[in-house]
Amino acid sequence: MMIIDAHSHVHDPVDAHVGLLDEAGVDRAVLFSTRPHPERAGDLASLRREMAILEEAIGGRVGSAEGHRRAWREWDAALAARPERFIGFLSVPLDLEPERIAATVEREVVGRGLHGIGELTPPPGRAAMIEPVLRAAADHGGLPVVVHGSAPTTAADVRTLSALAGRYPRVPLVVSQLGGTNWMEAVELVRDNSNMYLELSTANIVFAVRLAIKEIPDRTLFGSDAPYGDPVLARAMVERVTSPGEVRDRVLGGTIAELVGLA
């Protein structure tokens, strides 16, 4: 069985990321681009600078064009350096007109043979901004779409994602980070929408992971959110709350492998 980390970001250096995957016994990882690099920080002051960039990104603020270009170059380089380890997902800008979003998905995702779209970070309270992306994903056979699920994503945003999933039933819609503090509602909404999935990274409550897997055994995904989380610890938590067998195998890689066409 292939073990796949369903949520990770570009590391500097890339070899450090591969080393973490090796240590965790992880075969491949879904790779998103990133502007912040907390793994570069050597002290609290430098970490604060990186986390300020993160706050800007997950708050849906655009940031500098050069910062985005640099992040995309790093992401491209990582995919090119280790294509056997990384599964590329592209984050599509949400502030574009719907026609440009559709063209970007066709050219940059489908045209490049990428596996999905994400991690999308709409501003809090504005999860509906992802609808043009879902429409474009549906037009190309149902590409999986990953949306940031932790703070500042709100409970209302999670409900909006659920409503959007109902409009685009061919699109696998993944809520990341177990929905953050809204995890109980996220579990309920994902459970009741057959094309929604819940990725389990950064959970700090063990029984939240246990309950999510119990309620949605075929649509929960092991992920680390590295470098913010650790693949070794994330995998250990899944294995702590599951028994060897089909459910554990699906969570640790089987389900995401199906979504990205590797199964």
| pLDDT surpassing 60 at residue 189 | yes
What DSSP line would sit under 13-58, residue for residue? Answer: SHHHHHHHHHHHT--EEEEE--S--GGG--SHHHHHHHHHHHHHHH
| 225, amino acid identity | D
| Whole-number Cα distances in Å, 104 to 45, 99, 108, 109, 161 | 37, 9, 5, 7, 22
**What pLDDT is stored for residue 60 in this prediction?**
63
d(Cα 256, Cα 219) in Å, to the nearest integer? 9
Give the mean model confidence (pLDDT) for residues 215-228: 97
Q: What is the distance in angstroms between the CA of the first residue and the CA of the last residue of the chain?
A: 10
Is residue 100 scored above 60 in pLDDT? Answer: yes
Cβ within 8 Å of residue 46, ≥6 positions away: 40
Q: How far apart are CA 233 and CA 209, in angstroms?
A: 13
Q: Is the pLDDT of residue 255 over 60?
A: yes
Band (pLDDT 50/70/90 cuts) for residue 263 is confident
- pTM attached to this predicted model: 0.93
Residue 59's pLDDT is 73
Give tens-digit pLDDT for 29-74: 999 998 888 898 999 999 899 888 888 777 766 555 666 788 889 9
Query: How does residue 17 score in pLDDT terms, banded at 50, 70 and 90?
Result: very high
| pLDDT at res. 53 | 80
